[in-house]
Structure 1
């Protein structure tokens, strides 16, 4: 029987990957308590400018900041989604914290997957090249890839050049765009396009069959902060500033 969604992985595997990502979304939403929201210190001076220059009320402003934190967490989960999808292709598997993200079961391919092309600084790029080169040296038949799912072009070529003032090159270390990597593993040039076109239908089918998550309390941070303002009589922004910087000189007067 033909697959319902894409040709290169089973329908069951695709739906499982969607389910895992959905759970990551729910965890991210549920994880933004006041404590977590404050964990990296909120820039309330920037938020003051945002509120005034963009004419945003404080409730909406804090909600958008919470959503920004959720989005940062979800970006990591999107990379994991691609790893899981690709790991479902015959003859390939997910690394599971083994130092690589995807490998061929016969050790002829190792790959590190980044969702976006610009997620690494020069030190991270240097460390990644060195890691891939070690795999290539240890496994003489292996080709090793830095995969950029969202790249600035469509490419598959040797990764060589200057990183942190040093020249790097290796005959079996490559940079590859997401479309080309999906094509390489699946043997189908349009594999990533197939996934893109199938996702709305597959997600709808998953959501229709998924059990409702009654215990998810989304974004409790704003409720917690608002509860504090009812007692302190501060504005939301003043409350956040006090709770983040009350130990700064003069800020105890808020």
Structure 2
């Protein structure tokens, strides 16, 4: 039977991966209460510039900041989505927090997946190289990969060079772009392109199969903040500043 979406994983597996990501979106939206919005301290000086320079009213300003926080959470889930997709390819499996993201079932490949090429600082890069080199040393037939789903080129090459002032190289440690890694595991050069083209239809099919969950209260943070302003007569931005920095000198006068 021919697959409906892509040729390298089953339709059922693709829809399951989409379902998992959808649940991550719902969790991210549901999690932005006022308390969680304030977790990392809101930069209200930056928000003041954003409001004035981008011509945003306070409601739109805070909503965009909430969406930015949601987006940050979702970016991590997108990486997990790729791990789950690739783990559904024949002869491979996802790591599920076991030290690697993807491995060949016969231990001839180990990979760590990053959604974007620029998500690591030098210390993280050094730790990743050392981890991949250990897998290569422990499994003599294994090739080990740093996968960049969204890379600045299409490549599959040895990862070598200077990190934190030290020279690093290993005969079986590679860095590879997302398209090349999808091709490597699936045996199909256009596998990532297949996924890209199939996603709109697959997502639509998935959404038709699920009922809207009205119990998910999206982005309650703004509603909670506005409720406070009705009691204090502060502006939204002043209310956020007071609730984040009332212990700063002078800020208790807001």
TM-score band by shorter chain is over 0.9
SS in structure 2 at match of 1:85: helix
Matched residue, 2:153 = 153
Q: Which residue of 1 aligns with 2:84?
A: 84
Q: Give CA deviations for 1:124-175 in whole Å, capped at 9, x if unaligned.
A: 0000000000000000000000000000000000000000000000000000
- SS in structure 2 at match of 1:149: strand
1:53 CA displacement:
1.3
Measure, in 1, the Cα distance between the counterparts of 2:152 and 2:231.
51
5 Å matches for 1:1-254?
1-254=1-254
- Following superposition, the deviation at residue 178 of structure 1 comes to 0.2
Question: What SS is found at the alignment partner of 1:103?
Answer: strand
Equivalences, count? 254
Deviation (angstroms), 1:212? 1.5
Partners of 1:207 and 1:53 in 2: how far apart? 38
**Which stretches of structure 1, 4 residues or longer, exceed 2 Å deviation after superposition?**
none
Shift in Å at residue 54 of structure 1?
A: 1.3
TM-score, normalised with respect to structure 1: 0.99
List per-residue Cα deviations over 1:53-73 (Å, max 9, x = no partner). 111100000000000000000
Q: Where does the alignment leave 5 or more consecutive residues of structure 2 unmatched?
A: none
What is the CA distance between 1:209 and its match in structure 2? 0.6
**Cα shift at 1:33:** 0.5
In the aligned structure 2, how far is the partner of 1:106 from the partner of 1:216? Answer: 42
CA displacement, residues 198-218 of structure 1 (integer Å, 9 cap, x when unaligned): 000000000011121111000
- Separation in 1 of the partners of 2:29 and 2:154? 34
- Matches of 1:145 and 1:213, distance apart in 2: 39
SS in 2 for 1:50: helix
